[in-house]
């Protein structure tokens, strides 16, 4: 598959590196270098990051907090991660824009589809913060929504495992990896790839999802270059 424009989805937890919470500057710098390699190939890159390394609205709600309040806190956590990644990318000389679904005009642009596409056309990396701007929607859903809006060719979901397996490979050494799988098969087998809202939105819009290991150096570039990396989910 040839990629002109991708949306990279990163979990907030991935930014913790070896830490228990927060942001590991070493991991952040590694990610920035990986993304720079892809930008240097002329690929247009949009990014959505979760906020689970700082705050997770669902966890707050489970402890008695108002869910809407908790989700807004989670959205702000994604903005913190977005600022951190923007800084790391700019340290690598990559021009980056942070756009947010909640207006925080002192630190980021508001999300405007046409402006985002223009940035991408100019080979600037665009980070989308604050999820969809609505409670009850995950950053997975935000990633799919933004990818559809900016006409990305695929969603690349960077995780700590190298694809989708029939069972958890971290718990079962006999787990079998899928090279390719359909949306329907993922649902029928009950495999956890994204939350169902994000997943069905991707399926309806025929937007492929590639799940791959982002923590292995060079994997992102190999994937973009047509290497057999990760698992492709498609219609």
User: In what helix (H) or strand (E) does residue 49 lie, and over which residues does it extend?
Assistant: strand 44-49
Give the integer Cα–Cα distance in Å for 44 and 56: 29
Instruction: Categorize the per-residue pLDDT at 212 as very low, low, confident or very high, splitting at 50, 70 and 90.
Output: very high
Q: What is the mean pLDDT of the chain?
A: 94
Domains and CATH numbers, the chain: 5-234 (3.40.1160.10)
pLDDT in tens, 187-208: 999 898 889 999 999 999 999 9
Higher-confidence residue: 167 or 114? Answer: 114
Q: Does residue 209 have a pLDDT over 80?
A: yes
Give the integer Cα–Cα distance in Å for 182 and 85: 32
pLDDT of residue 192: 85
Q: What percent of the chain has pLDDT over 70?
A: 100
pLDDT in tens, 129-183: 999 999 999 999 999 999 999 999 999 999 988 999 998 888 888 999 999 999 9
pLDDT of residue 11: 92
19-36 burial code (b ≥16 CB/10 A, e <16): eeeebeeebbebbbbbbb
pLDDT of residue 64: 87
pLDDT of residue 165: 94
Q: Which long-range contacts (CB under 8 A, 24 or more apart) does 57-60 make?
A: 57/135
Q: What is the pTM for the complete model shown?
A: 0.95
- Which residue, 125, 147, 149, is CA-closest to 210? 147
Q: How far is CA 101 from CA 75, 81, 170, 172, in A?
A: 9, 14, 35, 39
- Which residue, 178, 158, 168, 201, is CA-closest to 31? 158
Instruction: Categorize the per-residue pLDDT at 1 as very low, low, confident or very high, splitting at 50, 70 and 90.
Output: low
pLDDT in tens, 54-72: 998 788 778 888 999 999 9
pLDDT of residue 123: 97
Give the integer Cα–Cα distance in Å for 144 and 149: 9
Lowest mean pLDDT among 42-56, 76-90, 165-179: 165-179
Tell me whether strands 96-100 and 109-110 are parallel, antiparallel or unpaired. Answer: parallel
pLDDT of residue 49: 96
Count helices and strands in the chain by DSSP H and E runs: 8, 11
Give the integer Cα–Cα distance in Å for 124 and 120: 5
């Amino acid at each position: 598959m040839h990629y002109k424009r991708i949306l990279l989805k990163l979990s907030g937890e991935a930014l913790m590196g070896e830490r228990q919470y927060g942001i590991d500057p070493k991991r952040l710098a590694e990610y920035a270098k990986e993304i720079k390699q892809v930008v240097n190939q002329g690929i247009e890159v949009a990014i959505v990051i979760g906020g689970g390394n700082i705050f997770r609205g669902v966890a707050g709600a489970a402890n008695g907090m108002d869910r809407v309040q908790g989700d807004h806190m989670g959205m702000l956590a994604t903005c913190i991660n977005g600022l951190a990644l923007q800084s790391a990318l700019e340290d690598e000389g990559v021009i980056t824009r942070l756009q947010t679904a909640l207006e925080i005009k002192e630190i980021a642009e508001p999300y405007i589809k046409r402006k985002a596409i223009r940035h991408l056309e100019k080979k600037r990396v665009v980070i989308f913060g604050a999820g969809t701007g609505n409670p009850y929607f995950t950053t997975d859903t935000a990633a799919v929504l933004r990818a559809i809006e900016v006409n990305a060719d695929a969603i690349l979901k960077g995780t700590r495992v190298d694809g989708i397996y029939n069972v958890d490979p971290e718990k079962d050494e006999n787990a079998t990896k899928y090279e390719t799988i359909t949306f329907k098969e993922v649902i029928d087998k009950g495999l956890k790839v994204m939350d169902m809202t994000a997943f069905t939105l991707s399926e309806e819009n025929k937007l492929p999802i590639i799940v791959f290991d982002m923590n292995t150096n060079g994997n992102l570039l190999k994937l973009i270059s047509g290497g057999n990396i990760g698992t492709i989910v498609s219609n």
